[in-house]
Chains A and B, each alone.
Chain A
Amino acid sequence: MEKLCALCVSVVKMEEWMEPVMVVEHVTRRFGSGETEVVAVRDVSLAVEPGEIVLIMGPSGSGKTTLLLMLGGLLRPSEGRIRIGEDDLTELDERRLPEVRLRRIGFIFQDFNLFSSLSALDNVALVVQLTGLSRRAARRRARQLLEELGMGHRLNFLPEKLSGGEKQRVAIARALVNEPDIILADEPTANLDSRRGHETMRLLRRIAKEGMRSVIIVSHDERIKDIADRVLWLEDGSFKNEVEMATDPVCGMSVDRERAPAQVVYDGRTLYFCAPGCRDEFLANPKQFL
């Protein structure tokens, strides 16, 4: 009975958690008017769950950046609504938007965009200070987070002295430090080599799953599909076919169901694997992974 009650509580909590963090309803964005009008984003709807990683892909000029700007409260839609929790970004006063961006949204930029004159520690602390915390308290929090992200030995280094991967860790720490509900990442692996790109992806996944933070990534990088729970294809301003993802039971990577290199029907369920190696490992001892 006790176990059942505990489960009930857990279910209730799960239901609470599963309220979408971000809801996008029929959002359209037009630029210009009359004959010169361009519809960059057309009637897009989306709900993002806590801890979910959504990857938005699409060709250049498909409206990805415009959509990301609207999701980040940096551009108002022409039509439709965007909500983060109880805050309606489309209704909020211009003076309140910075506060929402500061506390509810974390940004990760393509070029890292760190403040070149500040150390790694101060880059992160500065964002905390914007919330009104003292510099000392802000640095304490920034230090703790950077140490958690394995940057404890590079706290006082200027960005120019950091590798690409390290810069991205600082940028991620900066996005996380105010404990936002949602993280918006613009091409987070674009300037990283393959190994560092993988590290960043794993880090983003860990942040999403352990911290139950939603992550929306705009990218051309196919590798990011591995960590995404959902892949959306944006073309001509609209979402086309949604890519369904599954989790590889062996390595935990997300796998595009349609393009999975290996799959097995086991006990009536179809399981998808990122590589034949994972499939073979699974088949050798299925109970270990279920």
Chain B
Amino acid sequence: MFHLAWRNLLQSRTQFFLGVGGVALALLLMLSLDALLVGSEQDLVAYIYQSGADIFVAQEGVRNLHMAASAISMQDMRRAARTEGVASASPILYTTGVVETEQADVLSYIIGFDPREPLGGPQVIVAGTAQLGRGEAIIDNAVARSQGVELGDEIEILGETFTVVGLTEGLTNIINSVTFIHIDDFRALRRGDSISYALLAVEPGYDPAEVAAAIEARNEDVTALPREVFAREERQIVKDMSVEVIYIMNMAGLLIGLAVTALTLYTSTLRKRQEYGVLKAMGAKNRHLYSVVVVQAFLSLTMGSAVAIGLVWLMGSILPLVVPGTAMALTQAGVVRVLTAALGIGVVAALVPAWQMARLDPAQVFRS
């Protein structure tokens, strides 16, 4: 039956390519969305990992950066720094703002850091310097490329003019970018003494989770989270915000895949109705005929899936070159999710043709 299904599938090349192409397109939609989301999640937490902090101390209840406003005092930071196991503590100021260039406005996390402090500033500099002074800024290379900004150019941040003195890398994602200014400039703009977050490094041999718990135990006004937890919270909040869109797009992909696969199988069965009738007349049981439909569905979906995975992989290599800041990460979990969806598509799509097969009257062969 496998051979018959295979030959039937290949007999009409146009239909074969349309079928496999349609499935591939639907799965591509689902898989690329998934890969984009995962890629974005990885990029979104790039600063958290690049900052060098083992623990993030924030206002009580604040557990991430995105869409969050945190204010703690310098005293809170110093108290945290005195906790056993803390090697160093660096303050940063943070807000979400717009970087205005000559070409366009770019949404960005604005980080105010102290260049004299070990943590909080850019760790990867591809041009210029990390030692910025007052009135200076460091932006990401991807933004600089896309907006035509060069070292020495002027940009506007939070309504003030800054000169670009350094370029970072890997801090632009599909949503925004990260821009650094001097902490004193930020403080002047904000007109206050508080800081947003305290970034702590932990001494060797200490567990960041235990140190963070100790900090919270000493000061009820702050939330202290190890880097991994802070990053996970950041990812989750972004995922929660985009999950509806992703869900709708995935449903659209699922429905397209279902429609294409079902239609391909249906027309293929309809086209071969007479032959299946002959097979039934000659003694084939329904299970023989079902297996033809199932094998055809399986083959279409396997090939469609392979094409989709290949295309996403290709897109993942090309897209960041074409659209700076976009990243696609094809994960095992994503592939398993999409293949499970493909399997679901196959099962549902095979139902109608299988039902047709079961109802097929072999006597029709003699009446035609």
- A positions within 8 Å CB-CB of B: 65, 68-69, 72, 74-75, 95, 98-103, 105, 107, 109-111, 113, 115-118, 122, 126-127, 129-130, 135, 174, 186
Report the nearest B residue to A171, measured CB to CB. Answer: B278
A to B CB contacts below 8 Å, 12 in the list:
A74-B362, A75-B363, A109-B365, A113-B275, A115-B4, A118-B7, A126-B3, A126-B4, A127-B282, A130-B279, A130-B282, A186-B366
Of B61-69, B87-95, B283-291, which stretch is located at the interface? B283-291
B8's partner among A101, A105, A117 (CB-CB below 8 A) is: A117
Q: What residues of A have a CB within 8 angstroms of the CB of B282 in the complex? A: 101-102, 107, 127, 130, 174
Per the bound structure, the CA–CA distance linking A122 and B7 in Å amounts to 11
Report the nearest B residue to A187, measured CB to CB. Answer: B366
Q: What residues of B have a CB within 8 angstroms of the CB of A115 in the complex? A: 4, 7, 275, 278-279
Per the bound structure, the CA–CA distance linking A131 and B287 in Å amounts to 13
Interface range on chain B (Cβ under 8 Å from partner): 20 to 34
Report the nearest B residue to A127, measured CB to CB. Answer: B282
Other than the given A109-B278, A111-B368, 19 more pairs (CB < 8 A) read A65-B366, A65-B367, A74-B281, A75-B363, A99-B283, A101-B281, A102-B283, A109-B366, A110-B366, A113-B274, A116-B275, A117-B7, A117-B8, A117-B11, A118-B4, A122-B3, A129-B1, A130-B283, A186-B366
> Shortest beta-carbon distance, B257 to chain A, in Å?
25
Report the nearest B residue to A135, measured CB to CB. Answer: B3
B1-45 CB mask vs A (1 if < 8 Å, else 0) is 101100110110000000000000000000000000000000000
> Shortest beta-carbon distance, B197 to chain A, in Å?
67
B182 at the A/B interface (Cβ < 8 Å)?
Answer: no
> Shortest beta-carbon distance, B267 to chain A, in Å?
15
> Shortest beta-carbon distance, B170 to chain A, in Å?
53
Q: What residues of B have a CB within 8 angstroms of the CB of A99 in the complex? A: 283
Scoring B279, B365, B366 by chain A CB atoms within 10 A of each residue's CB, the highest score goes to B366
Q: Is the CB of B365 within 8 A of A116?
A: no
Per the bound structure, the CA–CA distance linking A69 and B7 in Å amounts to 29
B227 at the A/B interface (Cβ < 8 Å)?
Answer: no
> Shortest beta-carbon distance, B273 to chain A, in Å?
12
Q: What residues of B have a CB within 8 angstroms of the CB of A110 in the complex? A: 366
Q: Is the CB of A116 within 8 A of B11?
A: yes
Per the bound structure, the CA–CA distance linking A65 and B368 in Å amounts to 11
Per the bound structure, the CA–CA distance linking A99 and B285 in Å amounts to 8
Report the nearest B residue to A110, measured CB to CB. Answer: B366
**Which 8 pairs of residues, A with B, have the shortest CB-CB distance?**
A102-B283, A117-B7, A101-B283, A117-B11, A113-B278, A74-B363, A98-B283, A69-B363
Q: Is the CB of B363 within 8 A of A98?
A: no
Report the nearest B residue to A104, measured CB to CB. Answer: B283
Q: What residues of B have a CB within 8 angstroms of the CB of A98 in the complex? A: 280, 283-285
Q: What residues of B have a CB within 8 angstroms of the CB of A101 in the complex? A: 281-283
Per the bound structure, the CA–CA distance linking A100 and B366 in Å amounts to 18
> Shortest beta-carbon distance, A252 to chain B, in Å?
31
Q: What residues of B have a CB within 8 angstroms of the CB of A103 in the complex? A: 283
B277-309 CB mask vs A (1 if < 8 Å, else 0) is 011111111001000000000000000000000
Q: What residues of A have a CB within 8 angstroms of the CB of B1 in the complex? A: 129
Per the bound structure, the CA–CA distance linking A84 and B280 in Å amounts to 19
In the complex, chain B residues 67-109 whose Cβ is within 8 Å of any chain A Cβ: none
Report the nearest B residue to A95, measured CB to CB. Answer: B285
B281's partner among A72, A117, A126, A135 (CB-CB below 8 A) is: A72
